[in-house]
């Protein structure tokens, strides 16, 4: 937790907040906060800044002199379209891609996604929100990503993907072929990553028909978790 995130409901007035729960635990156990200490804070979906601890107990804290005057870091301009991975991997990825600056995460079905994954508590809105916050707190960012869930492949590819493609180049990371990122035009690229075992030929054909390019991740077959990390950085232009 490199920043304490403040919600609108935490504010008692414009520059005073009342905190409880996980953030107070962190202030006590990791930061060993005492009254008078300054802390890095950020308002959810707002600005970054600092605040001063005025009261702290085991369960609650009051911060005053909250000053929010820094913009959060710019988003990584990539929409991640991910065939739903198994829940434990999905959970780690929600926080990890948030920490990389991804702000749009579309979870889709594919033939090789086990249907039971869609029932996982990992996908409960409260858990997704929690993982996003862990990613933002790690990265010192405030802007919660947007997530969309498409439990059927066809409506996604027919009704949603054409709109994404109008915003910039779209890349499919599919084992065995493809090239490097050759184009960084448009406000927002799209990166599509399949399930373990890959999209089935019918699905790949549908992407091809819409003009999605193939991104090579090198000569090796990568796990989804590894592929997402390296491809998000490449397509999002983390190093550009």
Residues that bind its own copies (CB under 8 A): 2, 73-74, 76, 96, 99-101, 138-141, 180-181, 216-223, 225-226, 229-230, 232-234, 238-240
- 160 versus 225: smaller Cβ distance to its own copies: 225
Q: How far is the CB of 100 from its own copies (least distance, A)?
A: 7
DSSP, residue by residue, 35-87: TT-EEEEEETTS-EEEEEEEEE-SSEEEEEEEEEEEPPPPPEEEEEEEE---H
In degrees rounded to 5, what are phi and psi of residue 115? Answer: -60, -30
- 161 versus 193: smaller Cβ distance to its own copies: 193
Q: How far is the CB of 211 from its own copies (least distance, A)?
A: 21
User: Which stretches within 102-240 are classed as H helix?
Assistant: 125-139, 153-155, 161-165, 201-209, 224-236
Q: How far is the CB of 132 from its own copies (least distance, A)?
A: 14
Q: How far is the CB of 33 from its own copies (least distance, A)?
A: 17
Q: How far is the CB of 140 from its own copies (least distance, A)?
A: 6
Whose structure tokens read 């193939």?
214
170 touches 206 (CB < 8 A): no
- Say how far apart CA 117 and CA 139 lie, in whole Å: 28
């Amino acid at each position: 937790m490199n920043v304490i995130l403040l919600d609108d409901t935490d504010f008692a007035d414009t520059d005073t907040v009342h905190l409880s729960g996980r953030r107070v635990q962190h202030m006590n156990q990791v930061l060993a906060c005492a009254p008078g200490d300054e802390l890095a804070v950020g308002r959810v979906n707002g600005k970054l800044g600092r605040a001063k601890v005025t009261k702290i107990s085991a369960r609650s804290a009051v911060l005053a002199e909250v000053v929010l005057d820094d913009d959060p870091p710019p988003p990584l301009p990539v929409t991640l379209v991910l065939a739903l991975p198994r829940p434990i991997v999905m959970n780690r990825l929600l926080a990890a891609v948030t920490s990389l600056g991804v702000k749009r995460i579309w979870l889709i079905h594919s033939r090789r996604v086990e249907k039971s994954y869609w029932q996982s508590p990992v996908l409960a809105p409260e858990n997704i929100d929690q993982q996003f916050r862990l990613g933002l707190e790690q990265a010192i960012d405030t802007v919660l990503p947007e997530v969309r869930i498409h439990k059927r492949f066809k409506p996604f590819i027919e009704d949603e993907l054409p709109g994404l493609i109008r915003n910039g180049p779209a890349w499919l990371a599919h084992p065995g072929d493809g090239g490097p990122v050759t184009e960084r035009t448009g406000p927002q690229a799209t990166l599509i990553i399949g399930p373990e075992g890959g999209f089935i030929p019918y699905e790949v054909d549908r992407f091809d028909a819409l003009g999605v390019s193939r991104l090579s991740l090198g000569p090796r077959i990568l796990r989804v978790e590894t592929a997402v990390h390296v491809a998000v950085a490449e397509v999002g232009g983390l190093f550009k």
